Structure 1
Amino acid sequence: MFELFTDSLPAFLDGLEITLIITVCSLFFATIIGLVLGLINIGNNTFLRGIAKIYIDVVRGTPLIVQAFFLYFGMTGYLGFHMSAEVAGTIVISINAGAYMAEIFRGGIKAIDVGQMEAARSLGLPYTQAMIKVVLPQAFRNMIPAILNQFIISLKDTSILTVIGVNELTQSGQIIISSTYRSFEIWTMVGILYFALIFILSTIFRQIEARLSND
């Protein structure tokens, strides 16, 4: 089994690299989506709030695998254009995580005492500047644990992208199995790699949370 692992390690590392790249890029775009939708949800524009609510409800109410199929096979076929599986996977994870990030931002901003905004406005700051300079920095500090947790969730969600041909860690395992026919050993290795990566990230994230709580 050790020899099998060493022989398979280059393929595993390639898949792990793609997994991390998609996760990091997706969380970056999801943060932007979440911030925009979170601000819309606490705003006074009923029309925009309705659009944001529909987006969040649809994304959170449908399975990620269906969203991946819809984008990669459905939309590209219907509109007649092509995109790589990696690009499609990044978009899908971004859209999916963005809906959850929107709720994180909305909850984080709502948790800040309304007096903070009123005090900033009384000092002459416009609403936008008060939000950026006063409310968001405090809210973001409180949201960091939830954002880090979403990072781990999105990392695990990348395994679903194997259904559209993304050569991430799970797909790498399937390719190795097709040539070695040793599914038990390979899936054990894949599970260990996922666990090790998530354990390391969880440990780092807990240390970040501990430092923030002590500041």
Structure 2
Amino acid sequence: MSLDFTQITSSIPYILQGIGVTLKIVGIAALIGFFLGTLLAICKIGKVKALAWLADIYTSIFRGTPLILQLLLIYYGVPQLFGIQVEAYIAAILAFGLNSGAYISEIIRAGILAVDRGQLEASMALGIPYGKMMKDIILPQAVKNILPALVNEFITLTKESAIVTVIGIMDIMRRSYIVGGNTYRYFESLIFAGFVYYIMVVVLTMLGKLIEKRMSRSD
């Protein structure tokens, strides 16, 4: 067995171009997941039983089935059912956003419930509308409590984004696989892809810790 990383040196810039593709998908999906997760969390703790029930069913489905299955259903299933061709990027963003929303909803729900109930009671006593209370008082405190969990979800999303290669998106993994096929050096190219993902995760972890420190200083 011999390893020769010099065989893929000329292809490294090509693989690195996949970083932008990965971050674009993950970034947009994370925003969708956060807003959807917030909405689901509010429904779960709200007084409208029907909405809480629907939010629980949604979470159960997306947490109980593989992400790759959800991706393939959107990319291949939607055209079959509705005759509408979904672009690979759109399918990836939708699948990751909808899936992430289910997980983030539980994180935010836990964060909201962890806020001192006295804050809620005081707000209600002052006659602050429920929507304004959640937006200006409860949610900001909840986000501070759950920031590490949110960063962890974003990191998980970044790593899981590698599955978009199955629908042909030219991300880091797909490009490394192509380089491996062209050079017959799959091990080297895939190891390099793993290194790139690792560096991305390390950077995201450091950014998360930096944001957490700044938010803790603002208390």
* TM-score grouping bracket, smaller chain normalisation: over 0.9
Residue 13 of structure 2 aligns to which amino acid in structure 1? P
For 1:130 and 1:158, how far apart are their aligned partners in 2? 35
Q: Is the 8 A contact 1:11 1:172 kept in 2?
A: yes
Does residue 10 (structure 1) correspond to residue 49 (structure 2)? The answer is: no
Quote how far apart the aligned CAs of 1:39 are. Answer: 0.3
Equivalent position to 2:165, from 146, 162, 165: 162
Aligned length: 215
For 1:3 and 1:132, how far apart are their aligned partners in 2? 54
Residues 64-123 of structure 1: CA deviation (Å, up to 9, x unaligned) = 111111110112222111121111101100011110010011011011122101101111
Q: CA RMSD in A?
A: 1.4
Matched residues, percent identical?
36
Q: Structure 2 stretches of 5 or more lacking a match?
A: none
Residues 174-203 of structure 1: CA deviation (Å, up to 9, x unaligned) = 111121111111111111111111112212
Residues 42-72 of structure 1: CA deviation (Å, up to 9, x unaligned) = 0011111111111100000000111111110
For 2:132 and 2:207, how far apart are their aligned partners in 1? 33
For 1:139 and 1:67, how far apart are their aligned partners in 2? 29
For 2:181 and 2:6, how far apart are their aligned partners in 1? 17
2:101 corresponds in structure 1 to 98
1:16-27 matched pairs, under 5 angstroms: 16-27=19-30
Equivalent position to 2:68, from 55, 59, 65: 65
Bigger Cα displacement from structure 2, 51-60 vs 172-181: 172-181
Q: Is the 8 A contact 1:38 1:103 kept in 2?
A: yes
- TM-score norm. by structure 1 comes to 0.95
1:27-46 matched pairs, under 5 angstroms: 27-46=30-49
Q: Structure 1 stretches of 5 or more lacking a match?
A: none
Bigger Cα displacement from structure 2, 23-32 vs 171-180: 171-180
Does residue 78 (structure 1) correspond to residue 67 (structure 2)? The answer is: no
